[in-house]
Amino acid sequence: MGMVLKEKIQGPSAWKGSELSKDDSWIYYLSEKTIASLENALEKVQGKGLKSPDFTKEDFPIEDLSDEIAYFAEELEDGRGFLLLRGLPIDRYTDEEASIIYYGLGLHMGIPVTQNAKGDLLGHVKNVGALDTKKVRVYQTNSHLPYHSDLSDVVGLLSLRKAKSGGLSSLASTATLYNELLEKHPEYIGLLYRPFYFDHLGVEKSQGLSPLFSYYDGKLSCRYMRKYIESGQEKQGFPLSKVELEAFDLIDSILHDENIRMDMMLEPGDIQFANNNIVLHSRTLFEDYEEPERRRHLLRLWLTMPNSRELAPDFSTRSGIVKSEAAAVK
């Protein structure tokens, strides 16, 4: 176990939704020049007869966007920890063309990693069935998705189509969560630095040990997936104690506080990136269209980032939850 951070976190990562919702400084509007560069690279990929995700960074040349991409990476690691890129004219593209642009941008930001046992590098987030079947995970339904983090440095979502109603994307700052706990309930802090068993859906008998909070090399990281912690602990024969459940209930109540969380509708063409170490994400229940081709559909990327923080050896992906076999924990 590393050090326990005993002071509040200052800086841009400790944001509150109620403050950010007053302006749109967190939205990055893509310029015509940027869009033209992305479309030019799309034509290069198509000219070679390639499809996503079966092409390389070199196949999608956007060297002129290197300053913007450096800004995105910086904002994700040392800024607020999330970005919303707006302005991609999605109506101009087929789903395949949109996915080439999105995946191509991802290749220049970091290295895509697999999201499930099948090895998918581009995940499809859409409503395909009820949650009562073993093979359907929460992100494949229209159910509410509790706050969690994914098993990669950064998660990206491109909205192809939004739902008939609902389906808001919600983000929360783990720095703000920590500050709230430190100020109002410091008695739970020590507990959350202890390792918990995380169940890992899709991988047989895999419960990785990781603390929720890890303070290492001057940065606080968080890994929270309540459902999979409860399941992992039970499978090991150590169900969560009354005090641990109280701590998790408290975390959930802070994350759902409308002053803390940030709700946004991902409009078609919007791209959201979030740093899994410092931002938790969620989604509200939604009602979809009857016709399959009109239903809510997002494309998901998991990226390993070149400027990502060094993680403690006992934290998350380094402790039995392996990136390469990462069955999407949703």
What is the per-residue pLDDT for 163?
Answer: 79
Burial 286-312 (b: 16+ CB within 10 A, else e): bebeeeeeebbbbbbbbbebeebbebb
Q: For residue range 124-134, list pLDDT tens digits in order.
A: 887 655 433 44
Distances from the Cα of 18 to the Cα of 71, 149, 152, 216, angstroms: 24, 21, 27, 29
How confident is the model over 158-187, as a mean pLDDT?
92
Q: Residue 107 maps to which CATH number?
A: 3.60.130.10
What is the per-residue pLDDT for 296?
Answer: 82
Give the helix/strand (H/E) hosting 283.
Answer: strand 279-283
Q: What is the CA radius of gyration of the chain?
A: 19
Assess if residue 76 is contained within a domain: yes
- Closest alpha carbon to 82 in 92, 91, 90, 72: 72
Q: How many domains does the chain have?
A: 1
What is the per-residue pLDDT for 206?
Answer: 61
What is the per-residue pLDDT for 132?
Answer: 39
What is the per-residue pLDDT for 96?
Answer: 96
Assess if residue 4 is contained within a domain: no
Q: Which domain holds residue 222?
A: 17-304
Q: For residue range 212-240, list pLDDT tens digits in order.
A: 999 999 999 999 999 889 999 999 899 99
Over 50: is that where the pLDDT of 284 sits? yes
Assess if residue 5 is contained within a domain: no
